[in-house]
Amino acid sequence: MKECKFCHMTPDGDIPEDRKNLFMIDAGQLFDCSVLLFGAIWKDELAVFMGINKTECGGEQIKIHYCPMCGRDLTEEK
């Protein structure tokens, strides 16, 4: 089975260079700063972050059991 471009991890548990974000939203300008919202899968979590001028400002991680793109069980050991 081909690896999902949204949820696959390297054998050592890192995010590979070719991974895709679930979403990336340019939320516009705020006081001369670019605001960007993006989400990605990290192991068994959906991670949603906000960045201002390419600096991460914070985010939230939510436990999920399956990849929303391919349906793979994220709780299973590889």
In whole angstroms, give the CA distance from residue 64 to residue 45: 5
Domain boundaries, the chain: 1-78
What is the rounded radius of gyration, in angstroms, for the C-alpha atoms of the chain?
Answer: 14
pTM of the model: 0.73
> What is the full per-residue pLDDT of the chain (78 aa) written as tens digits?
578 999 998 888 888 888 899 999 998 998 888 899 999 998 899 999 988 887 778 899 999 999 999 999 998 765
- Is residue 78 exposed (0-12), middle (13-18) or buried (19+ Cβ within 10 Å)? exposed
Are 70 and 7 spatial neighbours (Cβ–Cβ below 8 Å)? yes
Closest by Cα among 67, 76, 77, 66 to 4: 67
The three-state secondary structure class of 54 is: coil
